[in-house]
Structure 1
Amino acid sequence: MHFYEKFEHIVSIALTVIISIVIIIAFLRLIVDVYNLLIVLALNPIEHSVFQTIFGMIMTLLIALEFKHSILQSIFRRASIVQVRTVMLIAILALARKLIILDVKTESPAIIAALSGALLVAGIVFWLIKEREDSARYKNR
């Protein structure tokens, strides 16, 4: 392993530890917040604002988990840190989160259309990347 590869490996491990700590704290906060919203305050989970709040927190955790997973893949498989498929998946999750927590009453239609278009394009790019990987895997058989 060259110096830079060792450095990259150490940084990846440090990032994984930091992100793991953030995920644990965020998960504990999620539990406390959901308990406070649904049990203490007795809010209705079907109410749109409560739904937005809870699923916004859950989606944020999913994004962090996927990000940590991509770093772990680079550590254990010795793969490059930047993998376009993973970056696109994280982008799709972030856009979906934004659409879930978006307040359609206050947001302009142009913003909603732009986010929807970005999500559609990100989904198409993700699908194209997956198709390319699948066809390359099929050819190598």
Structure 2
Amino acid sequence: MGLGEELAEERRRFSLLSLYDKFEHIVVLILTALIAAFIVFALWNLALGVVQSFASSTTTPTDYPVFQSIFGMMFTVIIALEFKRSLLISTERLRSVVQVRTVILIGLLAVVRKLIILDVGDAATRELFALAAAIVALGIAYWLVCDRGPFVLADSREEKGGRRLHKRDKS
């Protein structure tokens, strides 16, 4: 399918949306553009930080504060990428913007980023327990909303009588 055909198909799909859905779609596209600009600048900043770290004869990449700084910047880019991807998926599927699994995953990434850049020696015990509790709670919530086991809730195959369990396809 050519670019012109894809644009025509997108225009056709967009015309079928309700007024609020059109508004939501436009907001998501604007947010996606802003996040993409943020990712480009964050990646540029990360690249400069890594180059300056290697160029500097006084710091080494294995130095713990340098490690924390670089990985903190990397996780920031990863979190932004995941957020942008979730917005793009919502525009492609024409579903609601909020996807619970993605929000939980982004929250989990943010907590892990905080844990990585945290100086454990200076951290209060309460803060460490709070981070651990957040990781466990988000992990359990993610596990609960993900498809798991041999049975999943029916999606497009559900019958009119309500939702029922289907065995996963082996293909």
TM-score normalised over the length of structure 1: 0.93
Aligned position for 1:139: 166
Whole-angstrom distance in 2 between the partners of 1:41 and 1:120: 41
Q: Does residue 116 of structure 2 align to residue 100 of structure 1?
A: yes
Letter of the aligned partner of 2:147 in structure 1? E
| Pairs within 5 Å for 1:1-141 | 1-131=17-147, 135-136=152-153, 139=166
Task: Give, as a single letter, the amino acid of the residue that structure 2 aligns with 1:136.
Answer: L
Runs of at least 5 residues in structure 1 that lack an aligned partner in the other structure: none
Structure (1/2) with the larger helix percentage? 1
Report which structure shows greater RCO (CA 8 Å, sep ≥6). Answer: 1
Q: Select the structure of larger CA radius of gyration.
A: 2
Unaligned runs of 5+ residues in structure 2 are 1-16, 155-164
CA deviation after TM superposition for structure 1 residue 131, in Å: 3.4
CA distance in 2: counterparts of 1:74 and 1:66, whole angstroms:
12
- Provide the C-alpha distance between the structure 2 equivalents of 1:131 and 1:7, rounded to a whole number of angstroms: 31
* Matched residue SS, 2:146: helix
Using the alignment, how far apart are the partners of 2:57 and 2:152 within structure 1? 52
- Per-residue CA deviation, residues 39-82 of structure 1 (Å, 9 max, x unaligned), is 23452222211110000000000000000001001111112100
SS in 2 for 1:79: coil
TM-score, length-normalised on structure 2? 0.77
